[in-house]
Amino acid sequence: MTKPSEDHAITIDYFTDVLCIWAYGAQIRIDQLEKEFGSQIKITHRFIPLFAATAKRIGEGWAERGGFEGFGEHTLEVARQWDHVKVSPATWRHCRPASSVMIHLFLKAIQLLENEGKIPATPQTGFGQRTPFEAAVWRSRELFFEEAQDICSSTIQQRIATELGLPYEQIRARLDNGEAYAALHLDHEAQHELQIPGSPTLVMNNGRQRLYGNLGYRVIKANVEELLRDPRSGEASWC
């Protein structure tokens, strides 16, 4: 099989909400995908407002099942299926971010810096072979789920930037001038245009292939391999 050049890599849009337990557990598959396929694929992280109003989604939506405490227990039950992640009993029970929008804006600001060439766009050894942006996404999830920290607060976001050596003042500048808001708005537009059902969702082949939910790695890998074999896969054909 001929490997595509980096300029012709398969583009994969990855839609998640950072506060989604399923996306937290699925990160190991994304890491493996990038490790196995390298420059043959290009994953673009996009964020959707699944937990944009947690008082409504969890407080009201889970009222008959225990509200935030019930959702916290549900989160723990989901995490017990995996041995590669940890969840604190305080997550959602005591640590209750009001909205995932704030952490998404923070991460979009970092992504903008990456796009502008202000921070490296390549995997770094010190970040576990992740890019600085990818490391920020992972650290955000880790702090919330494992350490029960409110990652939607500016104090915790500054901690993330400091831990990873990211330029916090430049991040804040992208928030203050509205650029991060505009970038997040484009993610929301793409969500509606591509009819993204939830988090996590992988979109390939110009929107023709959508992989949603807690899918096994082999399913994701098979779809990528098919596109590498035939980039026109899924197009209309006489065959």
Output DSSP code: residue 39.
G
Domain positions in the chain are: 6-229
The answer to whether the beta carbons of residues 199 and 16 sit under 8 Å apart is yes
Asked whether the predicted pLDDT for residue 236 surpasses 70, the reply is no
Give the global pTM.
0.92
Give dist(CA 142, CA 41) in Å, integer.
25
Measure the CA dihedral 118/120/121/127, to 10°: -140
Cross-strand pairs, 12: 43
Indicate if the pLDDT at residue 115 is higher than 60. Answer: yes
pLDDT average, residue stretch 22-44: 96
First to last CA, the chain: 22
Answer whether CATH 3.40.30.10 is correct for domain 6-229. Answer: yes
DSSP bridge pairs for 41:
10
Predicted pLDDT of residue 239: 36
C-alpha span between 31 and 47 (Å, rounded): 18
Mean local confidence (pLDDT), 118-124: 94
Tokens in use for 184? 């997040």
238 has a pLDDT exceeding 70: no
Determine phi and psi for 69, rounding to 5 degrees: -65, -40
Question: Which stretches does DSSP call E strand in 28-161?
Answer: 41-47
Nearest to 119 by CA among 52, 155, 170: 170
Phi, psi of 215 (to 5 degrees): -90, 145
Q: Residue 1 — very low, low, confident or very high, per pLDDT cuts 50/70/90?
A: very low
Position of tokens 């921070």? Answer: 119
* Confidence grade of residue 125 (pLDDT, cut at 50, 70, 90): confident
